[in-house]
Amino acid sequence: MGEIADFGVPASIAAAWGVQDRPGYGPRPGLSLERIVDTAVRVAAAEGLAAVSMVRLGKELGTSAMALYRYVAAKDELLDLMLDRGLGPPPDGAGATGWRAGLQEWAQALLAAMLANPWTLQVPAGAPPITPNQIRWLERCLAALAGTGLAEPEKLSIVLLLSGYVRSFASTAAAAMHPGDRKPVDYGRALARLTDPERFPAITAAIAAGAIDDDADYDAAAEFAFGLDRVLDGIAALLDR
């Protein structure tokens, strides 16, 4: 078997797995990959992901940005490691019985992890997961589908579908919880004034029924559960076939 780098895995990611040490030469005393990632996560939690830069981290750690590149060669690598730290490990799934309960527990736990660390939602979704905790999340979701009779590619597609739903909902919920400098909009009342019932009859019906009501108490947990159940109903229909 060749070196892990032969497969395109960055040295910093390999180090997170404990496969090899980083850096390969001249480490600065007191500096480590773990300290760099911890500091980056702390800055992101306090000021948002945009505040994280190699220059800023160098200042926080009392070193130069160039010294950090001995441990992490690119910003994308650092973001992967930060996301891994922010999400943490998944639940063990010991309390779930059956595929549906397992996926429900997995999705609820992922939502909680994202909302507890909203900066993770600012990390661009791109390459497949490769860091330890992300692979643990993938393993846990695939394990919940064991014994369903689904083909392995179908299981992976379900992971993608489910994680996409959770991330989308978490992004909306996080924006509502942390509006920043944006002025709140009386959405229902604004739509009622802006939309013509003849051009937007469906919107008008939703407003009239109270579905879009600024004064109504919004239950985010119930909303998430409703959407999650519809996704799981689709998987159940696939299994029935």
Residue pLDDT, tens place only, 150-179: 999 999 999 999 999 999 999 999 988 776
Residue 233 pLDDT > 70: yes
Residue 167 lies in a domain: yes
Question: Mean pLDDT over all residues of the chain?
Answer: 89
Residue 36 lies in a domain: yes
- Total domains in the chain come to 2
Q: Is residue 104 part of a domain?
A: yes
State the pLDDT at residue 46.
95
Do 114 and 216 fall within a single domain? Answer: yes
Reference 40, options 112, 113, 114, 117; nearest CA is: 117
Task: Give pLDDT tens digits for 35-75.
Answer: 999 999 999 999 999 999 999 999 999 999 999 999 999 99
**pTM of this structure:** 0.87
Residue-wise pLDDT tens digits, 95-122: 668 999 999 999 999 999 999 999 999 9
CATH of residue 16's domain is 1.10.10.60
Q: What is the pLDDT of residue 29?
A: 57
Which amino acid is located at 226 in the chain? F
> In terms of Cα–Cα distance, which of 228, 75, 88, 239 is closest to 165?
228
The residue-averaged pLDDT of 178-205 equals 84
pLDDT of residue 2: 46
Q: Is the pLDDT score of 24 beyond 70?
A: no
Residue 28, domain extent:
4-87
Residue 225 falls inside a structural domain: yes
End-to-end CA distance of the chain: 41
Say if residue 151 is exposed, middle or buried (CB neighbours under 10 Å; 0-12, 13-18, 19+).
exposed
Q: Which residues 6+ apart lie within 8 Å of 69 measured at CB?
A: 54
Same-domain check for residues 225 and 132? yes
